[in-house]
Amino acid sequence: MDGILNINKPEGLTSFGVVAAVKRLTGEKRVGHAGTLDPAATGVLPVCLGQGTRVSEYLMDSTKAYRAEIELGSATDTYDASGKVTLEGDASDIDHARLESALSSFRGVIQQMPPIYSAVKHKGKPLYKLARAGVDIERKSRPVTVHHLELVDWQPPVVTVEVVCGKGTYIRSLADDLGRILGCGAHLKNLVRLRCGLFDIKDAVSMSELERAFSNGYWHQFIYPIDSVLKQWAAVVVDDDARQDILNGRPLEMQDCLDMKGSPETRCRVYALDGRFLAVLRFDTEKQHWQPEKVFQ
């Protein structure tokens, strides 16, 4: 069973809990998600099956969209509603204009500190495990990209924003930083992932519907092909000789692909003559050829 599921993760279930449920339903051992959602968060969670797990890294690199409710007036150690309150402030004088001004500092490439309760690793160990053990770690900020940030509702003390961002962006950190800028403290009250790459929440399947689909034999309609998440790259069809070279891991020189070597994209999709998805090739700028990066037998 090879492909990808677009699952609408429910509140209270961990991302690994969703993976475990999918393993149970499908009987497939190779199952993994493409981008963790916190237990309290809901929305799009791509789950890769079989050889689909080999393209999860490309999904993790994709742009994501969120709707976040941020409560002003209190900060927590986890940066969300599950944590202990570390600061309480007065948000009564915050108005729409001050919110817009504060939010403007989060657009574009910004420096962001990941939460101490996060899956970011320090010397191979997730920060949340170190935090629970009482180990104080000095975290380093890192650059993340916020492509779009819009204030969509303001019902004091809760502000609702929609965010489109790149890999590694923590909406919890954005909420905490907003509270710092406003001087009143803030934490993430609610989070919904609206989109991950091509996967949209409008098309996401709930866990209950997925269970019914497997029980009644129509589960296949929810499986996306492996190459569906790679459409941003050019597609090339190769003959049987080139196909055999790719299967054996040998590099290729293909003019159709070489024409793209000056573009930001240095990968392409390859298909056999019968239309089957064959591989992902990566352009080696030093050797000036296309090297098989992922081969799908």
**Catalytic site residues?**
38
b/e 70-96 (16+ beta carbons within 10 angstroms → b): bbbbbbbbbbbeebeeebebebeebee
Q: DSSP code of 213?
A: H
**Nearest CA among 199, 214, 171, 220 for reference residue 47:** 199
Query: Which amino acid is located at 30 in the chain?
Result: R
- Supply angle C-alpha 96, 86, 72, rounded to 5: 15
CB 182 within 8 A of CB 72: yes
Instruction: Write out the two tokens for 102.
Output: 């504060």
